[in-house]
Structure 1
Amino acid sequence: MSTDTLVEGTETLPLHTFTEKAYLDYSMYVILDRALPHIGDGLKPVQRRIVYAMSELGLSARAKFKKSARTVGDVLGKFHPHGDTACYEAMVHMAQPFAFRYPLVDGQGNWGAQDDPKSFAAMRYTEARLSAFSEVLLAELGEGTVDWTANFDGTLQEPILLPARLPVVLLNGAAGIAVGMATDIPPHNLREVASAAIHLLEKPKATVDDLCEYIQGPDYPTGADIITPRDDLVRAYHTGSGSVRIRARYESESGDIVVTELPWQVSGARVLEQIAAQMTAKKLPMVADLRDESDHENPTRLVIVPRSSRVDIDTIMLHLFATTDLERSYRVNMNMIGLDGRPAVKDLRTLLKEWLEFRVGTVTRRLQYRLDKVLDRLHILDGLLVAYLNIDEVIAIIRGEDEPRPVLMKRFKLSERQADAILDLKLRHLAKLEEMKIRGEQEELAAERDSLQKTLSSKQRLRTLVKKEITADSEKFGDDRRSALVSRPAAQAMDDTALVPSDPVTIVLSEKGWVRAAKGHEVDPEALSYKAGDSFLAAAQGRSNQQVVFLDSTGRAYTLTAHSLPSARGQGEPLTGRFNPPDGAHFVGVMAGDADSLYLLASDAGYGFVARIGDLYARTKAGKSVLSVPKHARVLQPVPVVDPEADQLAAIDLQGHMLVIPTVEVPRLNRGKGIKIQGVNAKKLAAGEERMVAVVSVPQNGSLVLHAGKRHLKLKASELALYQGDRGRKGKKLPRGLQRVDRAFAE
């Protein structure tokens, strides 16, 4: 825009200067007039205006209920020109006993439920009045205790603060997000806070640790257990920031788990959804059923039915605490607007000390206001007494003078206030009895004046008065602590193996790498149906809660949990959909059992080692390299080892030689090539003329079964002595007809 088009007197600013100022103005407005509570009355502006508007409507705790829409209309029309929905929600929040520790509004109708705090009815349906506790904020409002300011249109006056008789900022807490800062003040127990305030009033040098002897920790409306260690709570009170961890409270009834108290702001329906989702995903087999038995008499009653009486209830709950909202952590950030009008995070001592300063100042103003009233009344009574003592002359002056006031003032040395009071007297008050009443009132007011002046002139008397009033309010409105402070073991989610039932399963692997799991160990895997062109390759027996390890042709191991495998009712699914093996690799074997189960891994080059299954577990889809395969060699199917100290290892080569050695001679490794078990010539291996075709670990009381085409041979463990030799040798020839062994296993 050219300067020629500017209106004369228009101020121009750089855009960055204007936007910076506008943003700062907005942020200060949000901080001071919307999001943060004031330390004096513990309220945000909208809450303060709602409480004041309701008091102006006469909606005390003893009044009849009035439609909420009427209250909201007054708040918006007179003091708070913002959205009606937001204003009504703020009003509802102050009425919900599960949201406010000490509600300020008494509601009638549907004001929401703990399961769904925003399920309250519209303002045209509900009715409200102030709660009895609101007296703590309003009782001294008309006694000169606070400053007033014009409302938004300048037609009315509203209080800048309410004269709170207790530190409401700690009692009900606060939560809010401003620009660049936030507040999260937890609610506390009235009796504890009052005791701490009185202690600090009596001993101004008391430390945070001293005050924490009275304030044990937050006290939430919905109860539950605070499991945060005491040292952490004290540290939070020292710094004004920290966190509080709350855990649901439960008990056992006839073998069922009954949750009776939930953490603050946690929905019971949401908790049941979380538990049900785990049950659907088969991650919570020890739970049979869920029920919500909450009603008007029992606001929280969630029933969790274990599958059997043998299930450890505490173990289930520790898992649920770790995986659901039955345990939650809450931030502590005691940020508020102080007496200096600035936001700041305050420690417990600073907070209480500053509030006591506010309270003592409020009481001083109240007493001074009353003293001024008493002195004014005494002044008027002195003038009235002069009139009664000279009643005839006063009447004569009034009757005979056109302007009796200056004459009365001059004759009896009266002030304008006294002269006006005499002129305002009614004839019926001229009786002799009135003089006696005046003298009696003078005596009472004089005594009150002396008492007020003594209190105002003595800091000790003033503190004593504040202490008595805090004690009285504590006795009137105080209640027992709801949130117990307890020491509990840390919540810990159970791993998958603990969550899955331990049922026997047989894992079946096909030639093409398809896998499935059949229930039980009596399954004949070769009798199962396979896809066209596919057939049985290997099987392993384990349990549904165990890990299953698959071995590919490159010597890499891959891991899945048994319960995640498809059922044997179908033909399974390809392992390539679960893993990412190297190009050209195919699966050659499967291993199952607990983590300490042993398997022999070997290649047809004659090398091998014993490995613990737990050391073969792979965390990624790409698997884990465990067996080093020599050039031109192939990976053999892994075989189970029952007892390496007692088992015998039988190795058979392509020419029909069998070598038997003690299994204990084969080392136990996590990965590698292993040692030479049976002699195989590397050149002949490359040419395909020589290789180890099978290796079996035969238990002490077991048998070795050899298959060569249609012929087979079964040798007991005691009969294997004929084939024993030194490790690394070829061994002895098998009987005629068994020169081409294509399958060997132990039974």
Structure 2
Amino acid sequence: MTELTYGADGEESVALRAFTEKAYLDYSMYVILDRALPHVGDGLKPVQRRIIYAMSELGLQNNAKFKKSARTVGDVIGKFHPHGDSAAYEAMVLMAQPFSYRYPLVDGQGNWGSPDNPKSFAAMRYTEARLAKYAETLLAEAGQGTVEWLPNFDGTLSEPKVLPAQVPNVLLNGTTGIAVGMATDIPPHNLKEVVEATVHLLENPKATVSELNNFLPGPDMPTDAEIVTPRADLLKIYETGRGALKMRAIWTKEEGDIVVTALPFQSSGEKIMEQVANQMQAKKLPMVADLRDESDHENPTRLVIVPRSNRIDAEQLMNHLFATTDLERSYRVNMNVIGNDGRPQVKPLNVLLSEWLSFRQDTVRKRLEHRLDKVEERLLKLAALMLVYLNVDEVIEIIRTEDKPKPVLMERFDLIEMQADYILDTRLRQLARLEEMKIKEEQEALEKEKDDLLKILGSDRRLKTLVKKELQKVAKEFGDDRRSPIVERGEAQAFNESDLLSSDPVTVVLSEKGWIRAAKGHDIDPSALSYKSGDGFKFAARGKSNQNVLLVDSTGRSYALPAHTLPSARGQGEPVTGRLNPPSGATFEAMITGENNQKLIVASDAGYGFIVKLEDLFTKNSKGKALLNLPENSKILPLLSVPESEEAVIVAISNEGRMVAFPIDELPELARGKGNKIINIAAARAKERQEFVVAVAVLVSKQKLVVYAGKRKTVLKGSDLEHYLGERGRRGNKLPRGFQKVDRIEVQ
């Protein structure tokens, strides 16, 4: 509580911290309760409620003549909403736009904006408006004792606290609002589905959100685009009151062209065209040749994307556009509303509908009680009229002769004051028309109505039945089919840089001194290219221009360079160290290119290795990434491609002429590390370089292995290899005499 102190001159003073804290809290509560959040009862924010009520007070029903919007706005801000006219008019425009509201509350005439630019509406002095027919569901019962009235801002008029909505408008049109410390984002829904879910909850008060989800599967936007959020995620949104959903444009193929026919809610075709055009100008969409907007009155949305050729994958292209433009949009859901208790809260679907049903049942009860009072009052008046009819001469005589006829009439005929007043207010000409039969007929009808009202008010079951019938009647009158189909789609993926590049064959060449270049085609002889003085050919890798060139250095680190960025082979290239930063003294010992899922064998001459996917060698870091842990004094062996055959055999030969062969599936697949033992070489001998692996090869059926030792060579095939088959990591068997010092091997 703020503590006041008084100065010598009687002035009040309060601590600045206490004052500012109270002032900010007061302001935030005002924004939350009286500006930004909707009420669960009618789903309206105060400005919207005041606009609807002011229009009804002006007689602007659905069948009335249109009236200038400025007149409505003037009444709203002059009588109920003391804020800016532009803010009030914008709120009114939003309720009139069929592309913004699922069920518009205002029927506008003139320029009320377009889906491309919702704020392109004309000024309020030009447009005209009246209430839409749907607004009847909010106003029809306002004069039937259902509304709690509050004084307006200056206390001269009354305004409704909440309108007596006949359906859960809070879900039907949704709303967005930003308060202090909280916000609301409720998407629009379909009237028929909401009513079905509400009726089910009315009949089964303990129904779960999952059960209600069968009737209300998801939001229904004022557009024909698809909702692509999985149903499980939609259910989670309704269970928690929070989440996000996605909408995606609908497209078809017409004579090779891609035609977009429906856009997500609040997406602008003009902006989407601009987004696609920007990508085309930036050469990020080489597969698109042309772009046209053919939208017209008959086809409100018709965006045409022309692929460069029939070979372009339309699905893949649209997936890219969904990921990079407003052809797919995400919407936050935060079902934060002011409840019946006057407090803001994020509510799950079952709680929100339960609160609305409580509000609706209370409203219907008030309406019935109000009607019952009117019926009873009319019955008393009819009873007084019957007395007049039966004793007309005596009544006239009392009125003519008595100075104060009212008390005399009350005493003579046992009347209450209201009945006596009614008799005295009855005109003489009416007395001549009083007919006993007409009075009795009206009495009977009213007595029956009174009896029905009492039965309904005395039974919760009858009251619920009445609420149910009225809900179904509104759904029948205003309901329509779902506009936004709910379809589960895969996640949209944008093209990466390699997808946007042409897939041309290239040969990447690395020289002994570390100069790199790329030649078009696979039919060139790398060794015949010109090299700088003292330099020569070292490696060549054949691949495609949209692939990465992967290099491995003498320390076991891997590096990547996009092939399309390498200099042409017309020149002598550029030093690879200009782009990469290997450790001091390291040299590049392997180079390869290919598909990401291609498998390789990475091994050291210490006898260790493993299988790795080519994509595991990739890194954007110019310093590379650790791939193979090399034991001391060991070197990396050339990279080997792994064939798809399941019968492939790995062969390893040491410099001392020992050879072992084993099935390829015995070597594990790793992303990096030292690997497993391929052939057994004693660690001490490997460290001293007394023994090391000369080569590792992969053989499939019918392939031959050629072993070279100086000028001698031997060919091993079929049964010859069986002698060397064993388990991975064994010492292996000796090669024939004369091959104790192996130089190299070849697979034929």
- TM-score by length of structure 1 reads 0.77
Per mean C-alpha deviation after superposition, the further-off stretch among 247-256 and 490-499 is: 490-499
Kept in 1, the 8 Å contact 2:224–2:263? The answer is yes
Q: Which residue of 2 aligns with 1:130?
A: 131
1:8 to 6, 10, 20: 10
Q: 1:258, 1:169 → 2: CA distance?
A: 35
2:193 aligned residue: 192
Following the alignment from structure 1 to structure 2, what is the Cα–Cα distance between the partners of residues 584 and 619?
21
Deviation at 1:507, TM superposition (A): 4.6
Q: How many residues align?
A: 694
Report deviation, 1:575: 5.6
Matched AA of 2:243: G
Distance 2:574 2:599 in 1: 26
Shift of 1:62: 1.5
Q: Is the 8 A contact 2:225 2:248 kept in 1?
A: yes
Tell me if structure 1 keeps the 8 A contact 2:709–2:743: no
Amino acid at match of 1:232: D
Question: Aligned partners of 2:611 and 2:218: how far apart in 1?
Answer: 57
SS at match of 1:485: coil
- Name 1:120's counterpart in structure 2: 121
Measure how far apart 1:139 and its partner are.
0.5
Shift, 1:523, TM fit: 7.3
SS at match of 2:214: coil
Tell me by how many angstroms 1:479 deviates: 0.7
Shift of 1:339: 1.0
Maintained 8 Å contact 2:190/2:219? yes
SS in 2 for 1:430: helix
CA deviation string 1:238-257 (max 9, x = no partner) = 33333333333322322333
Q: Is the 8 A contact 2:40 2:338 kept in 1?
A: yes
Residue matched to 2:723: none
Q: 1:516 to 1:192 in 2, by over 3 A?
A: same
Contact map agreement 2:602 2:628 (CA 8 A) in 1: no
For structure 1, which segment, 233-242 or 374-383, has the greater mean C-alpha deviation from structure 2 after superposition?
233-242
Counterpart position of 1:458: 459
- 1:165 Cα offset (Å): 0.4
Q: Is the 8 A contact 1:103 1:131 kept in 2?
A: yes
Letter in 2 for 1:336: V
Bigger Cα displacement from structure 2, 217-226 vs 522-531: 522-531
Provide the residue aligned with 1:54 in structure 2.
Answer: 55
Tell me which residue corresponds to 1:63. 64
Distance 1:3 1:439 in 2: 73
Q: Hey, what's the Cα distance between the residues in 1 that align with 2:600 and 2:359?
A: 75
Over 3 Å counting, the alpha-carbon distance change for 1:143 and 1:564 in structure 2 is farther
Say whether the 8 Å CA contact 2:246–2:331 is kept in structure 1.
Answer: yes
**Aligned CA-pair RMSD:** 4.9
Q: 2:240 maps to what in 1?
A: 239
State the alpha-carbon separation in 2 of the partners of residues 399 and 446 from structure 1. Answer: 34
User: What is the one-letter code of the residue matched to 2:318?
Assistant: M
| Contact 1:108–1:126 under 8 Å retained in 2 | yes
Counterparts of 1:34 and 1:336, CA distance in 2: 12
In structure 1, distance between residues paired with 2:577 and 2:74: 67
Please identify, of 134-143 and 418-427, the stretch whose mean Cα deviation from structure 2 is larger.
418-427
What displacement does 1:162 show? 0.2
2:84 aligns to what?
A: 83
Tell whether the 8 Å contact from 2:599 to 2:611 is kept in structure 1 after alignment: no
Shift of 1:259: 2.5
Percent identity of equivalent pairs: 62
For each residue in 1:607-630, what CA deviation from the matched residue of structure 2 results, as whole angstroms up to 9, or x when unmatched? x99998655433312224669999
Partner letter of residue 345 of structure 1? V
Q: 1:572 to 1:271 in 2, by over 3 A?
A: farther
Cα 1:617–1:195, aligned 2, differ >3 Å: closer, same or farther?
closer
Residue by residue, what CA displacement relative to the aligned partner does 1:433-487 show, whole Å, maximum 9, x if unpaired? 5555444433333332232223222222222211111111010001111222233
Gap change, CA 1:296 and 1:377, over 3 Å in 2: same
Given that residues 284 and 500 in structure 1 are in contact (C-alpha distance below 8 angstroms), is that contact kept between their aligned partners in structure 2? Answer: no
TM-score (norm 2): 0.77
Q: Residue 40 of structure 1 aligns to which amino acid in structure 2? A: G
Residue type of the alignment partner of 2:444: E
Aligned counterpart, 2:735: none
Aligned 1:539-578 pairs, distance under 5 A = 541-549=542-550, 557-565=558-566, 578=579
Q: Which residue of 2 aligns with 1:148?
A: 149
- Contact 2:708/2:742 (<8 A) preserved: no
1:214 Cα shift? 1.6
d(CA) in 1 for partners of 2:488 and 2:636? 55
When residues 731 and 39 of structure 1 are mapped into structure 2, their CA distance, relative to the original with a 3 A threshold, is closer
- Please give the residue correspondences for 1:333-412 in structure 2 after superposition, counting only pairs within 5 Å: 333-412=334-413
Question: Residues of 1 paired with 2:277 and 2:578: CA distance?
Answer: 28
Given the superposition, is the C-alpha separation of residues 640 and 234 from structure 1 closer, same or farther in structure 2, using an over 3 Å criterion? closer
Q: Which residue matches 1:166?
A: 167
Q: Call closer, same or farther: CA 1:108–1:562 in 2, change over 3 Å.
A: farther
Instruction: After superposing the two structures, state which structure 1 stretch, 454-463 or 585-594, moved more.
Output: 585-594
In the alignment, what sits opposite 1:214?
215
Which consecutive unaligned segments of at least 5 residues does structure 2 have? 679-694, 698-705, 715-737
Aligned to 2:162, the other structure's residue is in SS state coil
Contact 1:525 1:536 in 2 (8 A): yes
Quote how far apart the aligned CAs of 1:28 are. Answer: 1.8
Q: After superposition, where does 1:617-628 map in structure 2 within 5 Å?
A: 617-624=618-625
Secondary structure class of the residue paired with 2:498: helix
The alpha-carbon deviation at position 206 of structure 1 amounts to 3.0
What is the CA distance between 1:83 and its match in structure 2? 2.4
Gaps of 5+ in 1: 650-659, 676-694, 698-716, 733-747
Judging changes above 3 Å, is the alpha-carbon distance between structure 1 residues 569 and 486 closer, same or farther for their aligned structure 2 residues?
A: same
Cα distance in 2, alignment partners of residues 514 and 62 from structure 1:
83
Range moving further from structure 2, 160-169 or 44-53:
44-53
Q: Which residue number in structure 1 is paired with residue 421 of structure 2?
A: 420
Distance in 2 separating the partners of 1:208 and 1:672: 54
Query: CA offset at residue 136 of structure 1?
Result: 0.5
After alignment, is 624-633 or 164-173 more displaced?
624-633
Q: Deviations over 1:105-159 (max 9, x none)?
A: 2222232333333333332332222111111100011111110000011111000
Give the deviation of 1:369 after TM superposition: 1.1
- For 1:457 and 1:5, how far apart are their aligned partners in 2? 63
